Structure 1
Amino acid sequence: MHSRNNPLPPVVQGLRSGCCPDPEPRRDGTPGRHLIRSRHYKNVTNDDGHHVSAGEDRKVPWVAIAPVVHAIRVLERIVPDGELLFSSAHHDFINHRGHYGVLKGKNLKQRIEDFVAWANREALVQGLPEQTIPADPLGAIGLARFRRTLAWHVARRPGGLVALAIQYGHMRSVLDARTSSGYGTRSRHGIHGVLDVETALAAADTAARLRERIASGEKISGPAARRALTAAAQTPRFEGRIVPKTFTKNSTAFLARDGVVLYDNPDAFLICAFIHDNALCEPELGATAPRQYDCQPGCGNTVRTDTHARLLRERAGELDQLAASAPAPVGRRLTANAARLRDTADIHDATAQSANAIS
């Protein structure tokens, strides 16, 4: 994703002031989305197949969320119009670099450490000691380690990889057979390997939570209940998050165990005990995980616990409250969705069994 000497990705290095203009309002008067336009460099070739070092404009811009736009606006106040956002000439106050280029890794790492120190001082001044950033036992944070922070969040949200595809241009379906190439490929340093690690850790966490719920007396339902109990019993619990390089290969093998890997889907209020041939979400050929954004009722991989039933009813209550103040057509749809969620919870209550009864 980025080199040892300069951990900023080339696409970010190429961002310039003005890359994210304020959008025109939509026809209905609502504000449009901020778009970031930049250049990309990997696999850019001319008609003769030779690499073009100057890169080319990305055909599809990024959609920028508010914190990203705010960060760009701050950088635009530091550099002149049209200048690189991370220009060394305007950011390197210590060495006063007079040449062109972007900030190097050493400078960026020091800025992160300075930010941590500032945040901790501010937390103490505001009387919020619990908000301080603790010292990392592995040393300085560094930009290269942000990649795993990103992967942690992506791997634990249903459909998160779709957002990753949009934002980073991977254009890869959710944990599919990895048919993409170039940036973010399956190499050891690619984002796919990092995502496999975090997805495997997330699956282990799901299995651990299922064990804890069953041990506390919760019942379980669904066509894959027996298989989920077996998977939960066989899946080790990962203590801590120190992951060696060899774990990337191990995590890929872990996820390939069709039928015994558990995927939490909080948006659908269930656990998916994924078997490729059973999945109604129609995953790609060779996929090792479901399309969690396209979870379908009646799937043979479904598992629910008493906690899921409780959350279904809580969500139904929230929809009823929204329906009461919504226009009539919208209110009817919300009420129908609430009734569907309660029916699903009732089915769980009627069919759920204890782990001892199932085994």
Structure 2
Amino acid sequence: MTSELAVEADPFVLPMPSPDTPVVHDRWISLDNTHPNSRYSDDLWSLGPLTDNPGHHIHRTIWSKCPATLQPEMRLVIWTLINGELRPSYVKARSMQGRARDGVASMRNCILEWLKLARWLHQHGVNRLGECTTEHWTAFAAERTAAQNNRGHALKLLRWLADLWAFDRLSARPSGIIAPPWETGGIDDYLPADTANTGGENTTEPVDPAVIGPLLTWSIRIVEDFADDILAGWAQRRRMIAEVNATEPTSESLAALRRYLLPRIEAQAPLPAMEHRGHGTTLNRLYVAAITGAAYAQIQHLSGQLDLPKLTAQRPGACPMQLPVTGTINGRPWRQHLDFEEAPTLARHLATAAAIVIMYLTGMRPQEARTLRAGCCHDPEPGTTGPHLIRANHYKNVRDVDGYHISAGAERDVPWVAITPVVKAIRVLEKMVPEGELLFSSTHHDVVAQRKHHGALKAASLDQRVEQLIDWINTEAAAQGLPHQQVPTDPFGNIGLGRMRRTLAWHIARRPGGLIALAIQYGHMRTVLDGRTASGYGNRARRGFHGELDVETALAAADTAARLRDATAAGEKISGPAARRALVAAAQLPRFQGALTTPKAAAKFLARDGQVLFDNPDSFLICAFKRDMALCDPDSNATAPNQFACQTGCGNAVRTDSHARDARAHADTLDVRAALLPEPAGKRLRFHATRLRDLADAHDAQARTAGEAVA
């Protein structure tokens, strides 16, 4: 059948491409996309024309990685995948896939799996796709899914493999590969056993409180206290390098160079040094040329004559720049001078610190934060007191009218709220990139190698930079005599920026008093998030950060219920007007455990008014939150109490023997502190201590066993 007849018979079958046919049809390329389009006969196919998200890599298919015997058939079916659409009737009937065409990231994963299959078939003596049997499909699927510990990912993998058969039927010259057995029969037999670990965002561990505290403190310090010095040093270094590159050698510049070097050599003084990759410590020629006004060729020639690399390795010295140091740490300058060689490293750490501040204190997903642009955070109108708002693109589940994923994302209908440290971090980044450029532009933040990479810094690169920043912080803290401010090792491994969103939600939900840095800011965000206001964290329709917070709040409430159940089972007594309701709620917990990892399930759990338990250690009680009984003035749609406004005498209060003991222990601590303070401060503390003891005494007088309370 000719390609024309095939198209006439079935519009979903693509015509046969020629060697010069573009890899991506024009219909799939957005108007703003400028990535070059590969040709069908090229040895490398780029998916750049489909990639509009600046935070994504440009994925490529390298045909040398495909066996030559299978390459013609694989080229055609992959080209069909890139440009084709599955028939609507097939999509509707197929439970494993609900879309006729995937986004570029899923398309890349699909291609990778197909190429793995091609190599596997070649190793097993199969040189045509039509020779692949049911036994081959079964064996390869077993090998691939055995490497997965996640049932959901294994399901995706089998779907990508089945796509090879589905798209092959839409090519102008089908290979005749048969359908995989899970496409025609049940798929469960080909999947690993289901486990409690269902994957998703909430399997990510929050950063340990002992880690995020000093890391956030240092990040804010770098942004707010050191940024002006770091930016001035980075700009001065670039000016010095530009001057050296523009300098022509003269007899005067050579004389100046000799006047600088020879006395130092004779006095056996330290020489300006740098660490040269693979060559150890050597003379910093650029720096010496810049401060003497010499041409680079002159210092290079003189370096060989005087054996300066060897002398520098024996007596390495600093490379100070003549710039004032304005930043301080504990009231003293943080540097005696800014160093020419340290400038790019400090600029790199400054950008990383800004990333930590932005991602942690907004709750943005990393891909949203990495694609922010200069100018995204406008100042409020003059004379107004409104918050700073961040205009950002979101990417998750953004689709066009046909249901196809939009790689460029879309601007959020409702912006993010930027608290003061975030605004300062954005302003610093805006000084590092041109107007309108990505705040985390790969080109402008590759300060060491100065390579011109595509788009924004990638997630893996930023994660690596966080680890490098932590190493620098720990070295700096020791040098500044602040070892207690070092960042300890996190028990769950590297501090990837993907963990920041979960960590913020964890601290807001589980540490309502903000026991780490910026407690006031946590309080501010909790208020905004509880109100679900129009200026809150992301669109309510898309849930934004609300869903993440709901999950953490639900998990914290479930933990509270479990602890109450265990405590009363161990013999602890309970008191308070909501004691019976709290015990009933705790008894119902097993119905919900293990099902609170999605925003939808968490919101449903929290909506059970009067049956959700919230621990409030600052008030030494559990709140069995019921809106119409709460004295903390919750909003009409609130699903959690305002724990900062907890009131004595509330009908939602519950106390256990542990709460009473903790209240008395805190009262004793207040008495000790009161004895060291002048009046009336000491009097206030003693009054508060007496009040806590009265609460504990009231509990002792009213406490009952769980059986008595429920009866």
The structural deviation recorded for 1:53 is 8.2
In structure 2, relative to structure 1, the CA distance for the partners of 1:5 and 1:214 (3 Å cut) is: farther
Q: Is the 8 A contact 2:554 2:596 kept in 1?
A: no
The structural deviation recorded for 1:146 is 2.1
The structural deviation recorded for 1:286 is 1.1
In structure 2, relative to structure 1, the CA distance for the partners of 1:92 and 1:243 (3 Å cut) is: farther
- The answer for the alignment partner of 1:92 in structure 2 is 446
The structural deviation recorded for 1:179 is 2.9
The structural deviation recorded for 1:184 is 2.3
In structure 2, relative to structure 1, the CA distance for the partners of 1:237 and 1:319 (3 Å cut) is: farther
The structural deviation recorded for 1:325 is 0.9
Considering only CA atoms, is the larger Rg found in Structure 1 or Structure 2?
Answer: 2
Amino acid paired to 1:54: G
The structural deviation recorded for 1:180 is 2.4
Summarize the alignment of residues 285-304 of structure 1 with structure 2, pairs less than 5 Å apart: 285-304=636-655
Residues in 2 aligned to 1:144 and 1:150: alpha-carbon distance in whole angstroms = 11
Residues 87-123 of structure 1: CA deviation (Å, up to 9, x unaligned) = 644643686324797533342134356679999xxxx
| 1:6 to 2:55 alignment | yes
In structure 2, relative to structure 1, the CA distance for the partners of 1:162 and 1:192 (3 Å cut) is: farther
Amino acid paired to 1:172: V
- The answer for the alignment partner of 1:156 in structure 2 is 510
In structure 2, relative to structure 1, the CA distance for the partners of 1:239 and 1:6 (3 Å cut) is: farther
Residues in 1 aligned to 2:634 and 2:678: alpha-carbon distance in whole angstroms = 37
Of the candidates 169, 172, 176, which is equivalent to residue 528 of structure 2? 172
In structure 2, relative to structure 1, the CA distance for the partners of 1:338 and 1:243 (3 Å cut) is: closer
Q: Is the 8 A contact 1:116 1:133 kept in 2?
A: no
Residues in 2 aligned to 1:237 and 1:159: alpha-carbon distance in whole angstroms = 30
Q: Is the 8 A contact 1:258 1:275 kept in 2?
A: yes
Q: Which region of structure 1 is more displaced relative to structure 2, 142-151 or 204-213?
A: 142-151
- The answer for the alignment partner of 2:675 in structure 1 is 324
| 1:221 to 2:575 alignment | yes
In structure 2, relative to structure 1, the CA distance for the partners of 1:264 and 1:82 (3 Å cut) is: same
Q: Is the 8 A contact 1:262 1:271 kept in 2?
A: yes
Q: TM-score, normalised by structure 1?
A: 0.68
- The answer for the alignment partner of 1:124 in structure 2 is none
Residues 223-248 of structure 1: CA deviation (Å, up to 9, x unaligned) = 000000000010138878x975xx21
Amino acid paired to 1:344: L
Residues in 1 aligned to 2:446 and 2:641: alpha-carbon distance in whole angstroms = 46
In structure 2, relative to structure 1, the CA distance for the partners of 1:135 and 1:56 (3 Å cut) is: closer
Residues in 1 aligned to 2:454 and 2:53: alpha-carbon distance in whole angstroms = 20
Of the candidates 57, 67, 72, which is equivalent to residue 378 of structure 2? 57
SS of residue paired to 1:217 = coil
| 1:334 to 2:538 alignment | no
| 1:309 to 2:660 alignment | yes
Residues in 2 aligned to 1:103 and 1:92: alpha-carbon distance in whole angstroms = 9
Residues in 1 aligned to 2:604 and 2:53: alpha-carbon distance in whole angstroms = 27
Residues in 2 aligned to 1:243 and 1:266: alpha-carbon distance in whole angstroms = 23
Residues in 2 aligned to 1:58 and 1:159: alpha-carbon distance in whole angstroms = 29
Residues in 2 aligned to 1:358 and 1:100: alpha-carbon distance in whole angstroms = 65
Residues in 2 aligned to 1:350 and 1:295: alpha-carbon distance in whole angstroms = 22
| 1:269 to 2:617 alignment | no
SS of residue paired to 1:203 = helix
Of the candidates 542, 550, 553, which is equivalent to residue 199 of structure 1? 553
> Which sections of structure 2, spanning at least 5 residues, go unmatched?
1-51, 57-218, 227-330, 332-353, 365-372, 381-386, 389-418, 434-438, 474-487
The structural deviation recorded for 1:270 is 0.4
Residues in 1 aligned to 2:660 and 2:563: alpha-carbon distance in whole angstroms = 16
Q: Is the 8 A contact 2:609 2:627 kept in 1?
A: yes
Residues 3-54 of structure 1: CA deviation (Å, up to 9, x unaligned) = 98639xxxxxxx9x996358xxxxxxx9xxxxx999x9x9xxxxxxxxx983
Q: TM-score, normalised by structure 2?
A: 0.36
Q: Is the 8 A contact 2:674 2:682 kept in 1?
A: yes
Residues 33-87 of structure 1: CA deviation (Å, up to 9, x unaligned) = xxx999x9x9xxxxxxxxx98345344574549xxx9xx7xxx8xx9x9325856
Matched residue count = 297
Residues 292-344 of structure 1: CA deviation (Å, up to 9, x unaligned) = 10000000000000000001001101110111010111111111111001000
- The answer for the alignment partner of 2:607 in structure 1 is 256
Of the candidates 129, 135, 145, which is equivalent to residue 499 of structure 2? 145
In structure 2, relative to structure 1, the CA distance for the partners of 1:331 and 1:261 (3 Å cut) is: same
Is the helix fraction higher in 1 or 2? 2
In structure 2, relative to structure 1, the CA distance for the partners of 1:83 and 1:91 (3 Å cut) is: closer
Summarize the alignment of residues 94-113 of structure 1 with structure 2, pairs less than 5 Å apart: 96-98=450-452, 103-112=457-466
| 1:82 to 2:82 alignment | no
Which gives a bigger RCO, structure 1 or 2 (Cα 8 Å, sep 6+)? Answer: 1
Q: Is the 8 A contact 2:55 2:456 kept in 1?
A: no
In structure 2, relative to structure 1, the CA distance for the partners of 1:296 and 1:133 (3 Å cut) is: closer
Amino acid paired to 2:627: H
